[in-house]
Amino acid sequence: MEHYDLVIIGAGPSGLIAAIEAKKNGVEKILILDRESEPGGALSNCIHSGFYLDNMRENLTTSELIQRLIDMVLDLNIVMKNDTTVLNLNKNKTLVAVNSYDGVLEVKVKSIILATGCREKPMGYKNILGHRSAGITTAVAVLKYINKKGVMPGREYLILGSGDTAILAARSLVLEGAKVKGIIESSSRVHAVREESKQYLIDFDIPVLFKHRVVEVFGEGRVEGVKVVEVDKHRNFLEGTEQYITCDTLVLSINLYPEVILGIKVGMKVHDENSELVINEEMETSLEGFFACGTVIKGYDVIENVIQQGKVAGKSAARYIRDNNDENHG
């Protein structure tokens, strides 16, 4: 069994920041584990700019921000293992993980930070009638196809939902020369959190059809078009408002929700109404010595908040380790 002072599960921005902050606050042996093949989390699927790190007043792209964080982690001699899935987490601060290089890893630690991020809800969430056609995907998948794989999943796109991820996907598609027919939004407003995302709608001339829903998908082998209908304030369909829009790709902007499975299995308390982790102002969960940061707490959040949470979690974990070391040596 390997021994570390601190293990961080998740190598997205919050996990990387937490590791850096913990190291700066005196934690010696730190291990970062992540199931993806490279660090960066969901942010690594994006290419937009507008990010700043600490006092560096540079306008960084997502890839530049992630690389800065990776460089800082490596410079601090923090161990990072990708392609690693944590199978089991225990209250006694031991865990079992596996990857294709080392096989099974058994680790004993003094503190753990959960930075597992968030993921999309299942495809059936939107409850759209239609055949099992090719050409139905999600906004996060589109970002990964284009920005990481260099693949265009279609030619004519219709996007459901107006959150940040949906708009970023629309922007990336337009930049690559795709035809984005528009965004379908069932409410009367854009749901993006970032002001930059809202501006993209104007800058890239992306139309939004408010107070509408997709009610049927057409196409056998692949999507050929959809039927949309106007809805009232109670989301009821308005008769006589149906229209047909051609497209070969339907992009679902599925809600992102916290990846809290490991936390729940080990016994961390969650809020009943939304399954979000219960944490205090020090980012500590209901289990002593277990901390959490980033989008695992409540789903999608702006990067500024994610980075700040990582800093607090790193400092708090370092304080916890230091205090317990003092007690053991007292």
The whole-number pLDDT of residue 44 equals 79
Task: Please list, in sequence order, all residues whose beta carbon lies within 8 angstroms of the beta carbon of residue 66, skipping any fewer than 6 positions away.
Answer: 13, 16, 39, 40, 43, 44
User: Mean pLDDT by 10-residue block, N- to C-terminus, for the chain (330 residues)?
Assistant: 96 95 96 92 76 68 88 96 94 93 93 90 54 83 87 93 91 93 94 89 95 91 93 89 95 84 93 83 96 87 86 97 77
The whole-number pLDDT of residue 329 equals 56
Alpha helices (H) along the chain: 13-24, 62-75, 139-144, 164-175, 195-203, 261-266, 303-329
Segments of the chain assigned to CATH 3.50.50.60: 2-119+256-329, 122-252
**CATH architecture, range 122-252:** 3-Layer(bba) Sandwich (3.50)
Residue 148 CA to its chain's centroid (Å): 15
- The domain defined by 2-119+256-329 folds into FAD/NAD(P)-binding domain (3.50.50)
Angstrom distance (rounded) from CA 60 to CA 44: 13
